[in-house]
Chain A
Amino acid sequence: MMNVLRLIGLFGVLVFILGPLVQSFLLSLIVTFPHEGFVKGDWTLLNYRNVFRDPELLASLGNSLIYVSLNVVLTLLVALPAAYAVSRYRFVGDKHLLLLLLAFRITPPVVLSLPIFLLFAKLNLLNTPVGIAVVHCLFNVPVAIWILSSFINAVPRAFDETAFLDGHSRMGFFVKLLIPAIVPGIGVSCFFCFIFSWVEVVFARILTSTGGKPVTMAIQNLFGFQTDIGLVMAMTVISLLPGLALIYFVRNHISKGFQLRG
């Protein structure tokens, strides 16, 4: 009896989560817009072919991949040492630092969008993936510090001390011992940086008004007086693929590493 209920529940979850995407997927496989030689309503791969024939859409995929990778690298570079400090030391101002991290993570992008635009115009970071990569650190660095520090907490302190006794320098210890020990944590951080960065719209819109558009904005641009909804959905489906690949890689670790310190 219990198992039947569980199966029904799990099936319900499956339908609720995947159901809405089914329609989008189906639309992406249908001719929804007058194209020469095609009948509206027919099954087709035309929309996908059109995505790959549109230089702007292709460029946007490139832009998004570039800014997300840059963002992940930048975030990890600054978050790893900070996470180590948060996990291993009590220091003057640590509580304020954690409060600041919390506050920045939850500050809505709309609040900062105008000054960010002006500042990045001065720094010459408009219309390039680099600008988006930098600005997304605002919410990704705090998340990465939380996740990484909870993984470092799980490494016993004796691990560090033994390494220093063995004559490892701090840098050597970091690169050769600590990072390999928390690889799952790095994977999970990458995943969360990715999901908050890849899908973000407010900063991405304000920083790329004339060029360097990421996927989200390229999709937005497809809407107009007449919209080829099939093409929109095809692009959306393609935009899910990198995220899905990442989920697959971290699936066994995704559920670890969320203990916060106040």
Chain B
Amino acid sequence: MTQRETIQRESDGAAAPPAERRLDVVSVLFRFQSMLGLVAVFIAAVLFSPHRGAQILFLTSENLFNVVRAVAEIGIIAVGMTFVILIGGIDLSVGAVLGLAAVGSAVLMVENGMGVVPTVLLVLLIGLVFGLLQGIASARFGIQSFIVTLAGLQVARGLARIWSGGQGVAIAYGDGPGEAPVAFSLLGERTFNGLVPIPALIFVVVAAAAIAFLRVSVFARHLYAVGGNQKAARLSGVPVNRVKIAVFGISGALAALAGIVHAGQLNQGSPNDGAGYELDAIAAVVIGGTSLAGGRGSVVGTVAGALLLGVLNNVLALNNIDANIQLLIKGLVIVAAAGLQRLRPAL
């Protein structure tokens, strides 16, 4: 098997050693570990769902789309986070960047009278540049990404507070001054007969693009190489620093995209928004089977991880489990998923 094929298999979340392609039960199970978790939680949700007559409330189409809408922002962030974690890094700034982007979207449209397209592009650029700067600080100066992005979190929060004047900027729609273009309100809407939420569609598109990108691009090979063995990657001519900087750029841009979606869904940009979202995103990535040590994992897994968390949240809420107990259950599920990773047969 060639190097390229190996990497492609890895990007599928493959665990089976290429030399011996025994499709024994264990390796298949672990290969689809993140999917299995999602399926298990989904079945549990169906079983434990409250009923209204013969109707299983969890399975109503509106509820299922609610789940996807609810995880859309975390999911978009988690896709970017997957790139960062694949090289063995971490990005703690994404929640704050989401807040900054939400504020930016609101202020640019409401106070500066900018149109939707320039606003979106500028906000995405801000996220991209913010991420790239963190990548440069981490790669060029050899500071651990944990510290760099922890600092980045503070900086982004501070910028969001300054830009917004310390309070939420409401987005009102219309053509007049102080009003945002009506087109932006699409982000809070549903399409296909008022069923499919736009943020869910955006999440699906982002995830699909990332999956495709990781399958075909040269960059993806470099990514897994850097995450697997940095020294070996460098020696074999992979531009390690450039790869590192790029993944933080991707993560920042996607966090900004999530922030735009956030502003559109809530009709407001608040500097405090997105607090703690980075942890949910990391949880989704880890549940999805991506190793925090880098080099192994997939976006498919992350999507499954995000949906797993969403389904879990949803069914706990539908059953009105006490909010404090919910935290315990979610914690246990994350530990269980991480534990499964350790059990995974070595490559």
Whether A and B are associated in the same complex: the answer reads no
